[in-house]
Amino acid sequence: MSILVRNENQSSQVARLIECDITSGKLPPNSRLRSTRDLARHFGVGQRVVLSALDILERKDLISRKPRSGIHVKAHGTRKDIKEILFFALANQVEFHPIVQAVNNLVNLPEANHKYNFLNRLVSSDSNGANYSLEAELARLTDWGGYVDCAILYPRGFTRKTVEQCLKLPYPVIFAGDLPEGDYEDLQYTRLASDTGKLFKTMIDYASGKKYRNLIFFSLAIMADFPFFVEAQEEMQKMAKACNIELRTELISGTTPMDMRTAFEIALKEHHDEIRNMDIIASYGIPHPDFDAGTLLAPLRFPEDIDMINLSPSSGAVKIRHIQRDSTMFCRKLCELLDNCNNSTPCLYRVPFDFEVI
């Protein structure tokens, strides 16, 4: 019986499962893999699928195949010109987070061409059980010490204890993104973040350019105490005031996408009379497909001329105004940090994305 997932290329799945065994140390350097026949039987696939999977692993320089000697895991460091990079992120709807998308786009930069092999560990989780999942994942990361040259860690949900655990990993780490509790001045680490304030400025500039005078901004309550978010919101209030825009902010509760959608709809209904006089409604971090499609307000009897804008990364199905991100400069700085991960002095860097209202 096959242990693979349907609707996904079988060769890629087999290659990924074998790669996980290699990076976790289950298949140590110089160890010999089973025969293609045994592997096919183990995964419940044909030998052609296994051969194709081995081709993938060979192109990634993880294995070597020699006649009469079998298939062996390559020793770490065989390709000294290529760094093995681990990217780890655990968050709710992790694939839509800007930093996660930026790191995934890094491989397309000329600066990254043939310089890095990436092992991505992206874990989607809601708040229920997230702490346990994070602890379990960090324990797993320790086992990859014999393979990984450097790790990029997305610190959503990290506490001081988590950061201290990460600094004990057997390879250098770079934190990509803002720490929820702010930076810890007595700890030494390298961190690269974007600039949420510039994102909010892009929204205010758009509203000002449209000569809007009333704006309501919905964001998640779970972010309300994050130092970087508080600072960005304070700057947004100042910018709005300077542009003669009356800015109202509302926090949306919830730990799961469904909870957030429900709370967003309740807030729109409860503040209907005030919101109907707004020029524009802005949403940040709230996953609601009907809002993105521009169909949420009509059933609630809001005026048709209210503008809407989504500040979060989209899946491509957004029909209202949204903000497009260009992470090129951020990724270039990340490449620089990866190239010098063993020799760099711990430091904090902030390289904003470029934003454009679409």
Note whether 89 and 190 are same-domain residues: yes
Taking alpha carbons only, the member of 123, 130, 85 closest to residue 103 is 85
Q: What is the three-class DSSP state of 71?
A: strand
Q: Which of 73, 103, 124 is the last residue of a domain?
A: 73
Residues 136-191: pLDDT tens digits? 888 888 877 667 889 999 999 899 999 999 999 989 999 999 999 999 999 999 99
User: Are the C-beta atoms of 39 and 57 separated by less than 8 Å?
Assistant: no
Note whether 166 and 203 are same-domain residues: no
Per the DSSP assignment, residues forming a β-bridge with 120 are 87
Note whether 336 and 189 are same-domain residues: yes
Mean pLDDT of 40-56: 90
Does residue 132 form part of some domain?
yes
Note whether 39 and 185 are same-domain residues: no
Domain count, the chain: 3
The values of phi and psi at residue 189, to 5°, are -160, 165
Q: Which of 30, 46, 73 is the last residue of a domain?
A: 73
DSSP of 94-113: GGG-HHHHHHHHGGGSGGGT
The values of phi and psi at residue 24, to 5°, are -80, -10
Note whether 16 and 54 are same-domain residues: yes
Question: For 222, which DSSP code?
Answer: G
Token look-up 């290659």 returns 15
Whether residue 315 has pLDDT greater than 70:
no
Residues 201-214: pLDDT tens digits? 999 999 999 999 99
Note whether 190 and 205 are same-domain residues: no
CATH for 158: 3.40.50.2300
Rounded to whole angstroms, the Cα distance separating 144 from 123 reads 17
Note whether 224 and 243 are same-domain residues: yes
Does residue 4 form part of some domain?
no
Does residue 3 form part of some domain?
no
Q: What is the span of the domain harbouring residue 170?
A: 83-194+328-357
Per the DSSP assignment, residues forming a β-bridge with 356 are 324
Whether residue 25 has pLDDT greater than 80:
no
CATH for 59: 1.10.10.10
Does residue 200 form part of some domain?
yes
pLDDT confidence band for 356 (50 / 70 / 90): very high
Q: What is the three-class DSSP state of 292?
A: helix
